[in-house]
Structure 1
């Protein structure tokens, strides 16, 4: 069999053919129809075998994580009305998040406690009651192993199981299904050391075969037809043992070249720069806002309020650990002490880097731009200028 074939009713997808040092095989994808709504405590093994009496040894059962989560009771009740609904969703997202990878407006890409990196920790509000959210299974590999064991022990079926979820891909538009749990099938097909048709030895090629199976099965399942399960037939499965599961596909931190979004990486660099020092911190006394030019203070009031709000949302703080907002710090050094003057300048840059990392703007004003009459400089030093927190611009994050 070569090429691909889709039945008129969309019920079967077949593919095969190809050439190379490792021959490909033909396979078939069939949807499992009639499972219906799955609820907490439902017997998935019984539901699937009743809907697919044709299930056979060697098949690969591909099941959407949502029905696994529903059967396992991985549901959270949330209010219908805003803003309470959004607040509840944010609380659930925080609980499911190990670290934030990137954030743009309302969209958050996070790493879950499983190790998956995806939008909103895989929390889903589709194909579920409006008052509920569906979380990912607690341990998708364990769920796949349990279902595989149930099918073997109770129904005498020796099949592999792949649990899937829908994800985006970096640098690619659109979504696709990928494997987040697996049992009875190897996660990776390793071609390293195999010769291609030209005699070249493959060095890096490791194919995420369970992801490919997940994507192929979704062509038969779809997203709106309430078909959460499909069967892939004709591909090799493990003769024994569950295998390493989908956890084998999670890229470890030591091999992750893109562990942060651009803005988060810039912020991390700014924080690192703010921590570089060869001398103790320089203390800059705080001045009243009245030292600022009256016209500039009025013009910048709205900008200062926005900066304070942004900083509060980001969990940031102004220099010295105080609350974010417009503040004025006197930058000074002992008269004639060039070393202390240089240290003061470096301290200003450290403070500004730390502020920028937390989304707080800052600006520098020269001595002749402010009213320092009546200001007492510590130790009889000389003022170098003032640092205004909550005013100015931010680097491009």
Structure 2
């Protein structure tokens, strides 16, 4: 039967800037070809000098590229790595007061360096996953996810395969790097002082020597590629403000027929005319503003019409 083994060694000392992660790990474990070495991002950040002084809230702002949602003091943001997470991944635990830990500058590159160091010193071909903790929409609690990877398949594709009943799988794609991160965390624990783990038994996920693969960045959807670019309240606010720079998180523009149907359901006389959607009824200013908000949220912008009274919408991007 398939067997998966996770080893999380004790004995790792406090990590300081300049520490060699391979030197810290290798005396504690005997690695085999096909192992996956898992390391927490906090330890990587400490070794790379990513511990900084200053107010945590200020650093969250500095690491944020876009606010997704805010409830009281909690900020869910898209950070400079493209990750959407609480507090931009800025952590104030397990460091001196007045200091915070930022995520690694390039987690995939950090994983690649550790993989190369292990190969050089042991001759073993392993994969490496760098992890961080994240919450999940609609679910309580947190799990560890992969934010960096090297030499590891991060996403398996089952598209085109058949199940036992002969049904073709269309979009099934397990995020195996995240699953590796999560199972490793079960052995590491949050307070055990075990920042490394070795997952053994999935050699099929480890790439050939010299092939670092796509990295964990391949798991990040492009801005606007998911259905939840903003929180519920924030989406309303951003649509009302209508700043063109906010358009991307709303996703690709809807079809003309979809927008016209939405506008008609909202009480407007809307018709598709070529590549545009026309509201010929000459709505008053309040109605026009409402139609413009609805259109903006669906990737459409108003253009002036000849008579100045009608509304005509065009896609904000091709």
Q: Which one has more relative contact order, counting CA pairs under 8 Å at least 6 apart? A: 2
Q: Quick one: which of 126, 136, 141 aligns to 1:174?
A: 141
Which runs of 4 or more aligned residues in structure 1 lie more than 4 Å from their structure 2 counterparts after TM superposition?
347-351
Q: How far off is 1:156 after superposition?
A: 2.0
Q: How far off is 1:349 after superposition?
A: 8.9
Within the alignment, does 1:49 sit opposite 2:26 as a pair? yes
RMSD between aligned residues = 2.2
SS at the partner of 2:27?
Answer: helix
Structure 1 runs not aligned, ≥5 long: 2-24, 79-87, 274-341, 355-397
User: Residue by residue, what CA displacement relative to the aligned partner does 1:13-71 show, whole Å, maximum 9, x if unpaired?
Assistant: xxxxxxxxxxxx3211111211121111011111100122x122211001000000000
Q: How far off is 1:252 after superposition?
A: 1.2
Q: C-alpha distance in 2, partners of 1:201/1:98?
A: 39
* Count of matched residue pairs: 251
User: Residue by residue, what CA displacement relative to the aligned partner does 1:146-204 show, whole Å, maximum 9, x if unpaired?
Assistant: 11011111332221100000000011110000000000111111111111111111111
When normalised by structure 1's length, the TM-score is 0.60
Q: C-alpha distance in 1, partners of 2:57/2:185?
A: 29
Q: C-alpha distance in 2, partners of 1:105/1:189?
A: 38
User: Residue by residue, what CA displacement relative to the aligned partner does 1:130-150 show, whole Å, maximum 9, x if unpaired?
Assistant: 231011000100000011011
Q: C-alpha distance in 2, partners of 1:130/1:158?
A: 39
Within the alignment, does 1:346 sit opposite 2:315 as a pair? no
Hey, what does 2:231 align to over in structure 1? 261
Within the alignment, does 1:132 sit opposite 2:99 as a pair? yes
Hey, what does 2:45 align to over in structure 1? 69
Q: Quick one: which of 71, 74, 84 aligns to 1:117?
A: 84
Retained in 1: the 8 A contact 2:56–2:92?
no
Q: Quick one: which of 139, 163, 167 aligns to 1:200?
A: 167
User: Residue by residue, what CA displacement relative to the aligned partner does 1:193-236 show, whole Å, maximum 9, x if unpaired?
Assistant: 11111111111101100000000000000001111111000102
Within the alignment, does 1:244 sit opposite 2:218 as a pair? no
Hey, what does 1:162 align to over in structure 2? 129
Q: How far off is 1:347 after superposition?
A: 7.1
Hey, what does 2:300 align to over in structure 1? none
Retained in 1: the 8 A contact 2:5–2:200?
yes
Q: How far off is 1:91 after superposition?
A: 1.7
Retained in 1: the 8 A contact 2:144–2:182?
yes
Q: Which has the larger radius of gyration?
A: 1
1:305-320 to 2 correspondences below 5 Å: none
SS at the partner of 2:8?
Answer: strand
Q: C-alpha distance in 1, partners of 2:32/2:86?
A: 36
Q: C-alpha distance in 2, partners of 1:154/1:111?
A: 37
The change in CA–CA distance for 1:234 and 1:349 in structure 2 (over 3 A counts) is same
SS at the partner of 1:90?
Answer: helix
Within the alignment, does 1:217 sit opposite 2:180 as a pair? no
The change in CA–CA distance for 1:90 and 1:348 in structure 2 (over 3 A counts) is farther
SS at the partner of 1:220?
Answer: helix
Hey, what does 2:242 align to over in structure 1? 272
SS at the partner of 1:253?
Answer: coil
Q: How far off is 1:253 after superposition?
A: 2.5
Q: How far off is 1:90 after superposition?
A: 2.0
Hey, what does 1:378 align to over in structure 2? none
Q: C-alpha distance in 2, partners of 1:29/1:155?
A: 20
Within the alignment, does 1:34 sit opposite 2:15 as a pair? no
Q: How far off is 1:350 after superposition?
A: 5.7
Hey, what does 2:74 align to over in structure 1? 107
Hey, what does 1:58 align to over in structure 2? 34
User: Residue by residue, what CA displacement relative to the aligned partner does 1:229-278 show, whole Å, maximum 9, x if unpaired?
Assistant: 110001021123000000000011242111001111000221239xxxxx
